[in-house]
Amino acid sequence: MSTPTTISLAGVAKRYRGTTALDGVDLSFGPGITGLLGPNGAGKTTLLRIAATVLAPDAGDVRLLGRTLRSTEALHDVRCRLGYLPQEMGFPRTFTGFGFVDYMAVLKEWTQRAPRHDEVRRVLALVDLDGLATKRVRTLSGGQRRRLALAQALLGEPSLLLLDEPTTGVDPEQRVALRQVLSRAGERSTVLLSTHQTEDVEALCDRVVVLDRGRVRFDGAVTDLVATATGKVWLADGPDPSARASWRTGTGRHRNVGEGAPAGAEAAEPTLEDAYLLLLGDRARAEGVAA
């Protein structure tokens, strides 16, 4: 099955004053939800900013919806079909929730007042904020602001939805509600979801890309990444000092994520988090040897 490529990055590199954010990344994405995982500074935010046309790469080719971004027209057309949620953003201080999304809708060229307000109400309802639309943004909680920020990204059902940590500060109930919104968006749009929440990736994404220091460390199905941890996760009565990670769980037993089975251990079902720890744990060990 071939799906259309909507985002294509070839040899994309970006440096900020001496630090490499992206180091020649080749990736392409099509409709569906792809999770972006990686430690802080891995290049996730830079990648999303480049895909959101906010940042120009130092080198490499970026194609969005089949177009290069060299002409102003191409840039405009792509931006019309793009929804972006930055990692950190402020709100104009005096705005209400409705006013903020309304302002964003104007920037997205909804010039007619009546259809624009209908659309604003639609996206506010999607993130379950329609009841708080008249409150000033500064009186909203962190999770509510995050949902408000997500609402503006959903305006006009964009073909490209680029979300940088959309669930930060959002409570579990709302997070599950947002999954519903995102999974529906993923049926027709290309959704890139950068996050630190491995359970969000496990719940939503079929594909996962793990970035580390500006390079792609893993790119494939979520199930394939989880499978790399099969036989490396153990439940034992005590901690295993040779494990990459080991902690006492609520049941009193110790979950050990590592190669060898400790004595008296039984194999446990691996999660994406285990596989992620193992993948990046190799790096930590390599660094330890080098140092």
Partner 1 sequence: MSATWHADDELFASYVRGDADALRSASLEQHLIHCETCRSRIAQHVEPRPLELVWDRIREDVQAPAHGPVERFLARLGLPESDALVISAASSLRVSWLWGVVLSLTFVGASVAWGGTRGLALFLAIAPLVPVVGVAFAYGPAVDDTYELAVASPYSGPRLLLLRTAAVLVTSIPLVLVVGLLAPGLSWTAVTWLLPASAFTVVVLAAATWVPATDAAAVLMVAWVCAVGAAAVRHDPAAVVDPAVLPAYVLLAGVAAVVLRRRIRHLTVVRRLP
Cβ distance to partner 1 smaller for residue 87 or 228: 87
Supply the DSSP string of 242-267, one letter for each residue.
Answer: TSSEEEE-TTSPEEEESSSPPTT-EE
Look up residue 184 and give its two tokens: 């529906």
Q: Residues 6 or more apart from 157 whose CB is under 8 A from it? A: 185, 188, 189
Subset of 32-51 contacting partner 1 (CB under 8 A) = 49
d(C-alpha 48, C-alpha 136), whole Å? 29
User: Considering the rule CB under 8 A, would residue 54 count as an interface residue with partner 1?
Assistant: yes
Q: Shortest distance, CB of residue 114 to partner 1, whole angstroms?
A: 8
Between 21 and 210, CB nearer to partner 1: 21
**Do residues 142 and 171 touch, judged by C-beta distance below 8 A?**
no
The SS3 call for residue 37 is: strand
Cβ proximity of 117 and 96 under 8 Å: no
Output 130 or 199, the one with its CB closest to partner 1. 130
Token representation of residue 238: 């005590």
Measured over all CA atoms, what is the biggest interatomic distance in the chain, rounded to whole angstroms?
69
For partner 1 (CB under 8 A), the number of binding residues is 43
- 109 binding partner 1? (CB under 8 A): yes
Options 4, 90, 172, 250; binder of partner 1; rule CB under 8 A: 90
| Residue of the chain from 16, 40, 287, 289 that contacts partner 1 (CB under 8 A) | 16
- Mask of contacts with partner 1, 174-203, x by CB under 8 A? ------------------------------
Query: d(Cα 75, Cα 53) in Å, to the nearest integer?
Result: 8
117, 196, 215, 217: residue in contact with partner 1 (rule CB under 8 A): 117
Give the interface with partner 1 as residue ranges (CB under 8 A): 16, 49, 52-56, 69, 72, 75-77, 79-80, 82, 84, 86, 89-96, 98-99, 102-104, 106-111, 113, 116-117, 121, 133-134, 152
